[in-house]
A = this chain, B = another copy of it.
Amino acid sequence: MSNKFRNQEANAHGHGYLPGLAIDAVIFGFHDNQLKVLLLTYKNTGLFALPGGFVHDTEDVNEAARRVLFDRTGLTNIFLDQFYVFGDKSRHDTAPLKAIMAVRGVTPPDDHWLLKRFVSVGYYALVDFTKAIPTPDSISDSCDWFGLDNLPELMQDHNLIIKKALETLQANLDQKLIGFNLLTDDFTMGDLQSLYETILNKKLIRAAFQRKILGLGILERTAKKWTGGAHKAPYLYRFISEK
C-alpha cells in the first residue's frame, strides 16, 4: 500500500481503478552485506507498509506494478515478477487505513472503496541499491530501506508478504540467475558470493562458488582491478547481457 491515496480520498468510489484489487511490491536491495526492502512510513501513525498501488482501468496489472516500482525508485527495466496472490478474507482490516486518513484529517464514509475488501497481487523486484532513489508517495512521509533482519511490524499481512517474497527469491536464485540484478554493474566475486550467502542464509565454499559461477559463462572479467585492501586485488566482473 502506498500511492494508493493520491486523489483517491476525494474519489470515494474508486472510479478509474479496478475495484478490490491492489498491488504490493517487495523491492529488494543489497547493501552492507544485508538484504533490504523498501518501506513506507505513515506520519503520526507508527504504521509501516510495503509500496503498493492500484490498477488503472487503462493498464495491465503488470504495467501497474512497473509504475509502482518506478514511482518509488525512479527505476525502469528492472527485474520484477509476480509471486503470489494474497486473497484471504482475514486480510480485510480497515483500522490502519482509517488511522492513516484520520491523521490527514479525513474521515471516510463507511462505504469508501478503500475500506472494502482487497485482494493483493504480490510482486518482488531486485534493484541496484546505489541507483534507486527512494521516494515517498503523497501520503507517506518517508520511503526508506529497512534491513530484512530488523523489520518493523508492518501493516496488515505485509510481513507475511515479505516472507513469501524472500522464499521465492531463494528458490529462484540459482534457477533464474536473478541475483545479479541486486549488484552494481561491476562487482567482485566476493561481492557476489556475499550476496548469495545473505540471500540463502548459509555459508558457501569459496572455490566451489567461483568455479560454479564462472562455469555458467555469463560473466566477463573487466580487466580492471580493485584497490584498497591489504591483500591481493580481486578482479571485477560484469554480467554479460544477451549476445
Contact = CB atoms under 8 A, between A and B. Distances in A.
B18 A117 contact: yes
Interface in A69-122: 82, 84-85, 87-90, 117, 119, 121
A58 interface: yes
Interface string A149-181: 000000000000000000000000000000000
Given A20-B20, A20-B21, A21-B21, A88 B117 contact: no
A89 B57 contact: yes
Nearest to A55: B87
Interface residues on A, range: 20 to 34
A135 interface: no
User: How many identical chains are in the complex?
Assistant: 2
B18 A58 contact: no
B62 A87 contact: yes
Given A18-B119, A61-B87, 9 more contacts: A18-B20, A21-B21, A21-B119, A60-B87, A60-B90, A61-B119, A62-B88, A82-B85, A87-B121
A19 interface: yes
A141 interface: no
Interface of A: 18-21, 55, 57-62, 82, 84-85, 87-90, 117, 119, 121
Contacts of A57: 89, 117
A84 B61 CA distance: 12
Contacts of A58: 89
25 contacts: A18-B117, A18-B119, A19-B19, A19-B20, A20-B20, A20-B21, A21-B21, A21-B119, A55-B87, A55-B119, A57-B89, A57-B117, A59-B89, A60-B87, A60-B88, A60-B89, A60-B90, A61-B85, A61-B119, A62-B87, A82-B84, A82-B85, A85-B85, A85-B121, A87-B121
Contacts of A21: 20-21, 119
Contacts of A55: 87, 119
A61 B82 contact: no
A87 B84 CA distance: 13
Contacts of A20: 18-21
A221 to B, nearest CB: 32
